[in-house]
């Protein structure tokens, strides 16, 4: 649609890139290269359905850039996927791997389908069909897929099996997101939450505050928040408030204990989805407050670890003056309006891009372990994660200091600069 001004994710990603490119003063060839996907595959996947008929599905794979290493990115099953969305997501993957400085590029792929309309057998044939079309163009050395929207570990294993059958050898590093024992990595559950706290620890160092002197409030009580709290309290910090979703009441509640929450007692009354039983919590001495109370606590650190857009124009002014840092465990928890206020207030922000990169780093470790066919103990995974995250944080924060720019911008700048540099080094531009 010519002249269509409607929202387009890829255009948004390009605009975001253009701003940083201007800042870095990239040459036009580099810009042209990085504004578009390096390679794109569009293909058909015919699938024999259970009733004997054949249905043809459309498949994609976008490889945005592989200057730093093999592309990395998920496979989405979505009934109304548009190529522009996939392009945008593959570009973001390039920046995401670059910011933590892991030797990977960015990719994304998908199949236009609604798995609700497909039986398990049909899904298996679809997964295998997708790999058959792409077997020559993906692999541990050039493009590594992973689970994404509506795709699961089972899908990854079917795809891996097809890939290995075609190539006649074992390549567990072809795909990530596998279960432990089938080429998966230990430490994956902890990775994002621990990664977040590694960056918080480094940030506190920067601010010259001892962790044991700090108090924090978190939004969310899922995987990320739970491991973040564990590591943070191990470091000596005190969490006085967490909020979480209550399925029964269809709203969230905040749970406060000024002497500090106790993870062991809370976990006993928490369901698998991170929902805390509010009656039982009250019984053991927690104050049960409205869900948004987490943001207005007198704490040093706020960690939004739930959904996007949680810190917005409506509530940003309820953040107390004593808050010194916001570490974004969730994706996009802060709206642009709120971000401005936070910047003005001078609160130190560890942007989502960097703060929750523990997940992608662990995927990278999964691939590394697969490629050498030797799997680390959990401690080793987590200590290597520490090294990576710490280095990534220091690089971003030093850049922010040096260039006197906001942390969020610094993260983008460092990522794009790394990719641009690699393209140049390879003599592409």
Element housing 84 (H / E): helix 83-99
Which 157-196 residues touch another protein, going by CB under 8 A? Answer: 157, 177-180, 184, 188-189
Secondary structure E strands in 31-125: 39-48, 54-65, 71-78, 105-112
Catalytic residue (one of 96, 108, 238, 388): 108
Among 44, 117, 331, 387, interactor with another protein by CB under 8 A: 117
Q: Give min distance, CB of 248 to another protein, in A.
A: 4
Residue 300 CB partners (closer than 8 Å, separation 6+): 209, 213, 214, 215, 216, 322, 323, 324, 325
Q: Does the footprint of another protein cover residue 344 (CB under 8 A)?
A: no
Q: Does the footprint of another protein cover residue 12 (CB under 8 A)?
A: yes
For residue 311, what is the DSSP state?
B
Beta strands 143-147 and 287-290 are unpaired
Closest CA to 108 of 70, 163, 78, 146: 146
Q: How far apart are CA 90 and CA 107, in angstroms?
A: 4
Q: What is the 3-state secondary structure (H, E, C) of 202-268?
A: HHHHHHCCCHHHCEEEEECCCHHHHHHHHHHHHCCCEEEEEEEEECCCCEEEEEECCCCCCHHHHHH
Shorter beta-carbon distance to another protein: residue 81 or 202: 81
Reading the block at residue 64, the tokens are: 């945005």
Specify the stretch interacting with another protein by CB under 8 A; choose among 115-123, 124-132, 339-347, 401-409.
115-123
Q: How far apart are CA 180 and CA 193, in angstroms?
A: 19
Q: Does the footprint of another protein cover residue 248 (CB under 8 A)?
A: yes
Binding mask 126-155 for another protein (x = CB under 8 A): ---------------------x-xxxxxx-
Q: Give min distance, CB of 304 to another protein, in A.
A: 16
Determine whether 404 is an active site residue.
no
Q: Does the footprint of another protein cover residue 309 (CB under 8 A)?
A: yes
Element housing 378 (H / E): helix 378-403
Q: Does the footprint of another protein cover residue 304 (CB under 8 A)?
A: no
Shorter beta-carbon distance to another protein: residue 234 or 271: 271
Shorter beta-carbon distance to another protein: residue 32 or 114: 114
Q: How far apart are CA 266 and CA 147, in angstroms?
A: 31
Q: Does the footprint of another protein cover residue 119 (CB under 8 A)?
A: yes
Shorter beta-carbon distance to another protein: residue 317 or 387: 317
Q: Give min distance, CB of 6 to another protein, in A.
A: 5
Residue 249 CB partners (closer than 8 Å, separation 6+): none
Specify the stretch interacting with another protein by CB under 8 A; choose among 78-86, 158-166, 198-206, 353-361.
78-86
Q: How far apart are CA 350 and CA 329, in angstroms?
A: 9
Shorter beta-carbon distance to another protein: residue 85 or 214: 85
Among 137, 167, 273, 290, interactor with another protein by CB under 8 A: 273
Dihedrals phi, psi of 249, to nearest 5 degrees: -90, -5
Among 29, 251, 284, 372, interactor with another protein by CB under 8 A: 251
Q: Which residues bind another protein (CB under 8 A)?
A: 5-9, 12, 50, 76-82, 85, 114-122, 147, 149-154, 157, 177-180, 184, 188-189, 247-248, 250-251, 271-273, 309, 335-336
- Which residues does the annotation mark as catalytic? 108
């Amino acid at each position: 649609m010519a002249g269509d001004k409607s929202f387009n994710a890829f255009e948004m990603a390009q605009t975001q890139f253009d701003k940083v490119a201007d800042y870095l003063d990239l040459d036009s060839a580099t810009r042209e290269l990085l504004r578009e996907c390096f390679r794109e595959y569009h293909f058909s996947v015919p699938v024999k359905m259970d009733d004997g008929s054949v249905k043809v599905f459309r498949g994609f794979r976008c490889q945005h850039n592989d200057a730093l290493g093999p592309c990395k990115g998920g496979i989405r099953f979505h009934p109304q996927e548009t190529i522009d969305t996939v392009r945008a997501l593959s570009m973001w993957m390039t920046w995401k791997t670059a910011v933590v400085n892991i030797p990977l590029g960015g990719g994304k792929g998908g199949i236009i389908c609604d798995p609700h309309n497909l039986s398990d057998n049909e899904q298996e044939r679809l997964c295998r069909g997708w790999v058959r079309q792409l077997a020559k163009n993906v692999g541990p050395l050039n493009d590594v897929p992973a689970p994404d929207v509506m795709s699961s570990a089972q899908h990854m294993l079917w795809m891996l099996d097809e890939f290995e059958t075609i190539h006649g050898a074992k390549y567990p590093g072809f795909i990530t997101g596998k279960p432990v024992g089938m080429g998966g990595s230990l430490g994956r559950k902890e990775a994002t939450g621990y990664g977040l706290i590694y960056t918080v620890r480094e940030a506190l160092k920067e601010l010259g505050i001892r962790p044991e002197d700090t108090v924090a409030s978190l939004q969310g009580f899922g995987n990320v928040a739970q491991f973040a709290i564990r590591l943070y309290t191990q470091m000596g910090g005190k969490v006085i408030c967490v909020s979480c979703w209550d399925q029964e009441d269809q709203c969230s509640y905040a749970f406060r204990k000024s002497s500090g929450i106790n993870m062991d007692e809370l976990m006993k009354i928490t369901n698998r989805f991170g929902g805390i039983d509010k009656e039982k919590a009250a019984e053991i001495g927690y104050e049960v407050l409205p869900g948004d109370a987490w943001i207005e606590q007198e704490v040093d650190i706020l960690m939004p670890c739930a959904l996007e857009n949680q810190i917005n124009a409506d509530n940003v002014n309820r953040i107390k003056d004593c808050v010194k840092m916001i570490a974004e465990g969730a994706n996009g928890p802060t709206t642009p309006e709120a971000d401005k206020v936070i910047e003005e207030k001078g609160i130190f922000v560890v942007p989502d891009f960097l703060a929750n990169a523990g997940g992608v780093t662990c995927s990278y470790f999964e691939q590394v372990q697969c490629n050498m066919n030797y799997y680390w103990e959990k401690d080793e995974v987590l200590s290597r994660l520490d090294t990576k995250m710490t280095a990534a944080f220091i690089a971003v924060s030093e850049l922010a200091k040096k260039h006197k720019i906001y942390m969020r911008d610094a993260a983008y700048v460092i990522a794009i600069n790394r990719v641009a540099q690699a393209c140049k080094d390879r003599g592409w531009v």
